Amino acid sequence: MAEDGEEKLLATVQHIVQTLGRTDTMTEDILKVFSNYDGRLSLDKLYATRAAAAAAAGGAGERSMPASPPLPAAPSASAGMPPVTSLERTVRTLDRQISQFVTMDRLIWADSADADAFLEAVDDLIGTVQELDAAGTNRGLLDRADELLSRCMARLEDEFRALIERPDDAAPQVPGGFGSDESEGEDYDADDGFGDEPIPIAKPVSDFDVVIDALPPGSVSDVHQIARRMVDAGFGRECAEAYAAARRGFIDESVARLGIRSLTADEVHSSPWEELEFDIARWIPAFKMVFRILIPSERRLCDRVFDGLAPYGDLAFVAAVRTQALQLISSGDAVAAASRAPERLFRVIDMYEAVRDLLPDLDPVFSDPYSAALRAEVSAVCNILGSSIKGIFMELENLIRRDPARVAVPGGGIHPITRYVMNYLRAACGSRQTLEEVMEGDLAAVGAAAIAIDPDRPTSSLAVHIAWIMDVLHKNLEAKSKIYRYPPLAAIFLMNNGKYIIHKVTDSELGVLLGDEWMKQMMSRVRRWSMEYQRGAWAKVMSVLQTGGPGIGSIPAKAMLQKMQMFNGYLEEICAAQSDWVIADEQLRADVKAAISDSVMPAYTGLIARLRSSPEAAQDLFIKYTPEDVQAHIQHLFEGAAK
């Protein structure tokens, strides 16, 4: 009875298939439905019944009544068509399963069960394609499977980008989870190009020892699973491009929030220095933010998404960060190639140090062959900034040489070029180690280790360069001293400027760089200029005070009286001429006055004593200036600045 019932069931199935199965695909689908519905209706048993019915149909002409309608027989080799293989059935089944997912109007990953089922179907399809490709016997079926695989990859790519750009869309809507209202600790921005859906955005920070987790851990795992399937299917490059496109918006907006603008060479040349200085002041922290936080964080995320999928992770990483990285580097190049005006030195040093200090940290970030070019670009901009620093120093020399000797500084005071150069060099030496690196040209070692600097090395390239600048300044000051028509005032001018230089060198790094020997030479010059002043300004006074010898009568009394009158005139002339002269340094001023007193006062008191001891001169002697008066006149010299 059981066998009769099964035969009747099979006959019924034959009839249904014969009636409804107008095409091979429809027949295959109906057989699949019945096999899933009842265990007695396995595909093997249905196909065996189908074959038996086809054989029985061959002798139907001898019967008056045909048997019940048979199942449509699978095309057999004897009929001129190949039988339906298991791979064909697999492809048809996968087509039905996958079509359900790729036509969804919502994210597949919004439902974890759907995501798992879709990935399982994709895995089966990838395996089937590989099996068909290896067999190489059914090109038509392989093309059909490849077309289905392409549809899968297109949908996976859409899901992949959505999970990266809008991670909350696929997050489970549970209290406290991603996508719920309780996840208020994240930073989001609503304008991500996809409507009102939020995307996490990096914010400027002052602490660079942080990492941005742009995606929730669950989203990272999901996109990794997608990436693995796309790579397995031969769509690794497309996956890398999709990742870069999805992440680029995040990176672009993060950099935009740092408030910097891209600088071209033309903009740098045409911008006022105040405006350019403001741009540089923003560029430095932005460069640190991008290369210390944003790009390393992107590398970390990329390594997790493409874990074990090299080289596509490297391709995705460099494609995502290249634009913003090159934009920042290009701005640095533009500033480095711009005007070499000396006032730009300190900002360029700041830029150089910012780039130099992060170079060692970039080695693990740009370690792959694809991003090595970016590492080379950063190193190149460091070298270019270093060359710019050297160029600015050369321009400082040219500025000193070109400073014209037109107008004399009143009273022989300190020239503005002296103040500018010395204060400039003092400030520059605040970055002495950086300048040593640049001047030594040892940029190849920058980023690997700091250059060892000998603090007592006056023969270093920087020391030699500064000594050369000092020599150029000295020659410029000597040329300016010739403007003064009165040589003693020229000597005062050189004294003032020389003493100012010594003062600025003594209490700064300049003293270390120039060394003791240079300092001795400079002090010797100041003493020589002091002597030139005394000889030029007081020579007539000292000459008139000479009495020819200690003995009384060696010079006539009348002649000594004339000398006294001449002295009075010379003293008044000197005090009048030098009333506006100035010696700025208090100690130098006291030393010069003391030297004058040491020369004049003994001779003057001696002349007075001889006149008083002479009977002929004593009766006509009139002392207009007592020694105390002369001393007071000397003490009032060189107060021009105070007055």
Question: What are the pLDDT digits (tens) for 135-149?
Answer: 888 888 999 999 999
pLDDT averaged over the chain? Answer: 81
* Residue 132 pLDDT > 60: yes
pLDDT of 168? 63
pLDDT at 618: 63
> What are phi and psi for residue 523, nearest 5 degrees?
-65, -35
Closest C-alpha among 221, 178, 340 to residue 269? 340
Give the contacts of 295 (CB within 8 A, at least 6 positions apart): 321, 325, 365
pLDDT value at position 53? 58
Residue 171, number of CB atoms within 10 A of its CB = 20
Segment 66-116, tens digit of pLDDT: 333 443 444 443 344 445 578 888 999 999 999 999 999 999 999 999 999
Q: Report the alpha-carbon distance of residue 167 to residue 161 in Å, rounded.
A: 9
Please report, as a single letter, which amino acid is at residue 287: F
Share in percent of the chain as helix, strand, coil (round to 5): 70, 0, 30
pLDDT on residue 185: 40
Q: Which pLDDT belongs to residue 42?
A: 54
* Cβ atoms of residues 521 and 570 within 8 Å: no
Report the pLDDT averaged over residues 617-639: 83
Q: What is the pTM of this model?
A: 0.73
- Please check whether residue 602 is in contact with residue 544, taking contact to mean a CB–CB distance below 8 angstroms: no
Among residues of the chain, what percentage have pLDDT more than 90? 52
Q: What is the pLDDT of residue 28?
A: 60
pLDDT digits (tens, 9 = 90+) for 568-586: 999 999 988 888 899 999 9
**What is the per-residue pLDDT across 29-51, written as a single tens digit (0 to 9) for each?**
666 666 555 555 555 555 556 55
Token digits of residue 259: 């408030």
Distance between CA atoms of residues 65 and 44, nearest Å: 28
Kindly give, in sequence order, each residue whose CB lies less than 8 Å from that of residue 510, ignoring residues fewer than 6 positions away: 425, 426, 429, 466, 504
pLDDT value of residue 598: 93
Q: Is 338 exposed, middle or buried (0-12, 13-18, 19+ CB in 10 A)?
A: buried
The full 3-state SS of 249-302, as one line of letters, equals HHHHHHHHCCCCCCCCHHHHHHCCHHHHHHHHHHHHHHHHHHHHHHHHHHHHHH
pLDDT in tens, 178-232: 233 333 344 444 444 434 444 343 444 555 555 677 788 888 999 999 999 999 9
The pLDDT, as a whole number, for residue 63 is 38
C-beta separation of 263 from 279 below 8 A: yes
CA distance 30 to 63: 30
Q: What is the number of other CB atoms lying within 10 angstroms of the CB of residue 119? A: 20
Mean pLDDT, residues 500-521 taken together: 92
Distance of CA 184 to the CA centre of its chain: 32
Q: Find the range with the poorest average confidence among 54-68, 81-95, 546-560.
A: 54-68
The least confident of 2-16, 343-357, 473-487 is: 2-16
Q: Average pLDDT in the 421-443 region?
A: 86
DSSP assignment string, 71-106 = PPPPP-GGGTSPPPPHHHHHHHHHHHHHHHHHT-SS
pLDDT of residue 460: 82
| Amino acid found at 263 | L
Cα–Cα distance for residue pair 84/82, rounded to 1 Å: 7
The pLDDT of residue 68: 37
